[in-house]
Amino acid sequence: MEEPTAAGPDWSNLPPDVLTTVLGDLEFPDLFRAADVCTAWRATARALRRLGIYSRPQTPCLFYTTAAGAELFSLADKKAYRARLPDPPIRERNIIGSSYGWLVTADARSEIHLLNPATGEQVALPSVATIEQVSPVLDRDGNLERYDLYRHADDPQPYGC
């Protein structure tokens, strides 16, 4: 760490292990704020959020969408934080599950994505249409109504019938 100046110490140059220890002990909203200090802190905070390395249990956050995007509402400090998310827009998808900070989302065509609202990372899962035993069922207008699941690709009856 550099010598203190008249303005104070340069906190942006903390050793990585010290920074990881300090940031890992923060409540989620404070971790968001710490990411705004400098590039090094942002990278460390992002890595901690992505890897889920926290020294303490985290208070749950509520996730909701707005016309402008999405927000995480911290129950700990009763404040909303804007979540920067990649396309496709979250308001066009349904949240169908969550685990360890990741949301499972699906659009109208059942295309599924894993989304981490804290880091903005997103993983597109293989399309349900690529699964041999799954067959789309369309209505008269050609809109997706449901998918049928077959034990084998050449079975005449859907699974469970």
Which residues are CB-contacts of 68 (< 8 A; sequence separation ≥ 6)?
none
pLDDT of residue 36: 77
pLDDT at position 104 is: 92
Domain spans of the chain, in order of start: 11-51, 61-124
pLDDT tens, position by position, 67-89? 778 888 888 888 888 887 888 78
% of the chain exceeding 70 in pLDDT? 85
Higher pLDDT, 12 or 73: 73
Digit-coded pLDDT (tens) for 101-116: 788 998 887 889 998 8
The pLDDT, as a whole number, for residue 89 is: 81
Give the model's pLDDT for residue 127.
Answer: 86
The Cα–Cα gap between 144 and 115 comes to 24
CATH of 11-51, one of 3.90.120, 1.10.3470, 1.20.1280, 1.10.246: 1.20.1280
pLDDT at 125 over 90: yes
Q: Structure tokens of 2?
A: 């550099």
